[in-house]
Each structure stands twice: as structure tokens, then as C-alpha cells.
Amino acid sequence: MSSLNPADLHTDPTLFSGVDVYAVAGNPIAHSKSPEIHQRFAEQAQQKMHYGRLQPDINAFALVAKTFFAAGGKGMNVTVPFKLDAQVFADALTPRAQLAGAVNTLWIKDGQVWGDNTDGAGLVRDLLAQGIALHQSRILLLGAGGAARGVLGPLLEQSPKCLVIANRSSEKADELVKLFANLAAINEVALESRTLLELEDATKTPYAFDLVINATAAGLTDESPLSTGAVANVFVPSSFAYDMVYGKTTAFMRQALQRGARVSDGLGMLVEQAADAFLLWRGAHLATVIDPRAVLAKLRS
């Protein structure tokens, strides 16, 4: 690993003496809402901290992270495309980060860099805050990549009746079913995989879902993973459709709206995963002081 001068970071911890420095790392990162979210939590909790941005080159995450922490950085959020690099970079992982296969939060504890994944907990808290009952529900999770894997554990822990993972190709969905079979059994969840094509077949998809979560990358290009035939099978008016993408009504959300279902984008998940990271860094006792729903309302206004 070659070296980097802290001054070459977008956020140089040495410039903020007496203030704890945090940052979000991603590429691109200019439009990240994380600095604003954390600044609002810091105000609510009356914490003195600075939260900036880091944009490592695609192959330079470890170098930037090493330089940031060596220069005194206290913690880092990690977003696309570096969540796997962050998992490799961490000296120690929480059990949920191990299960998620990715890390979105790093911090220093006892001289080691710890990695956690707060995405799934953030999603679950946002769903519950929106009044979505997860216990004994029927959940369809679209996608079997990193985003889907990151939220599977916390979803299974809510003991839905069934959770179906649907993906274009079956291999990745089958792998996730194997990986999470134990947790599904412990929580008495019927965990199954299906291809997106099979969602069009009413014999293979005989019931609609209470909750459909889009964890595919299709939302980014405004495509939907669901064909017209699949839409007819998976949504009823009592369904809730959740897209992890935020800031727009995606093609997937429009399909659900046309079927009379309720929809949500992923902004609440972003705020809630940030809240968990903030509490990991600044202390769990601040949970009663910060108000993620107020921060979310501000972002939406």
C-alpha cells in the first residue's frame, strides 16, 4: 500500500483540532445526504463533531481509510461501491456485518478498526415507523446482490411468515437461501428463492405479498425488475412497495401505485441507518435524544 498525505483527503482530520471528525466514503459522493443527516443528529444531541465527505479512487479505498484513521478520524460511513472493501479493511466485525457480507460503518475501538452494517436495522426501523407489520407477513425481496444480503438478517429476525428472494438468475438467490437457512429456521420463516420470471407464473406465485422490497440496481436506471405479468401476481391494494432508492418515484413504485398499493422510497432507511451509526460512534445513551423521524421530515420538506 503506498502512502497518502492527509491534506490530499477531501476531509482532513488534522484540520479540526479539538473536534471529532467523521466522514462518508463513496464514489461518487458529492450528492450524499449523510453529512446533513449527521450534522442534524449532532445538533439534536449537542455533540461537537465534523462530518465530511471522502471520494477514494475506485481502487484506493483502503489507502484513504488508513490515512483518514491514522490522521485522527474517529469514524466513517461507507457507501457504493466500497462496502466490501470496508469489510476487508476492518480488523474486527460485528456478527451482523459478517452475516451481511458488507460494512457501512467503521470506527476505532481499543486501537482496532471495527466494522458494522446498520442498513438492515435501518430498513426495519423505517418500515415499522411507517406502520408496516412485519411479524407473520409475506415479504418479497427483489434482488440477490449486496443490498439484498445486507438487509436479510434483520428482516428474518422480525419473523415474517415467509420471505421470497426473487432474482433474474436463480444462482445468487439460491445461495442467499442457503446462507440464511439457519436464521430463517430459528425465526420460523419459510425462506424461498424464485426467478423474476417465475413471478409471472400464477402457479409458482399463488399469493400476493404484504411487502415488496426492491433491492435490485434496476431502480437506479429507472427500470423495474417486475414485468407486467409479475405485477399482477405480487401486488394487491393492501401491499406496501418499498424501493431502496430515494429521491424519486421509480418505475417499480409506479407499478405498485397503479395496483392501488402504498409505496415508499428509501430515504427513511438512509436516515435510520445513519442514526445507528451515530449511536455506535457517540454513545447508545443518545438514542433518547436524537429524533430520526424529525430529521427525515426536514429532508423531505
Least Å distance between CB 106 and ligand ATR?
A: 18
Q: In whole angstroms, what is the distance from residue 90 CA to residue 109 CA? A: 11
Which candidate in 33, 66, 74, 83 is catalytic?
A: 83
Least Å distance between CB 138 and ligand ATR?
A: 20
Of 68-76, 141-149, 255-263, 287-295: span binding ligand ATR (CB under 6 A): 141-149
Looking at the DSSP assignment, which residues form a beta bridge with residue 106?
Answer: 76, 115
| Binding status of residue 136 toward ligand ATR by CB under 6 A | no
Q: In whole angstroms, what is the distance from residue 113 CA to residue 63 CA? A: 14
Helix residue ranges, H only, the chain: 34-44, 61-70, 83-89, 95-100, 119-129, 146-156, 170-179, 181-186, 228-234, 251-258, 267-282, 292-300
Neighbour-count burial of 111, counting CB atoms closer than 10 A to its CB (0-12 exposed, 13-18 middle, 19+ buried): exposed
**Is position 172 annotated as part of the catalytic site?**
no
The amino acid that residue 3 corresponds to is: S
Residues 23-82 that bind ligand ATR (CB under 6 A): none
Least Å distance between CB 87 and ligand ATR?
A: 12
Give the per-residue contact string, 191-230, with ligand ATR (x = CB under 6 A; - = no): -------------------------xxx----x-x-----
Least Å distance between CB 162 and ligand ATR?
A: 19
Residues 75, 115, 120, 143: which binds ligand ATR (CB under 6 A)? 143
Map residue 37 onto helix, strand or coil: helix
Cis amide prior to 154 (ω within 30 degrees): no
Closer residue to ligand ATR in complex, CB, 47/216: 216
Query: Which residues sit at the interface with ligand ATR, rule CB under 6 A?
Result: 143-148, 167-169, 172, 216-218, 223, 225
Catalytic residue IDs:
83
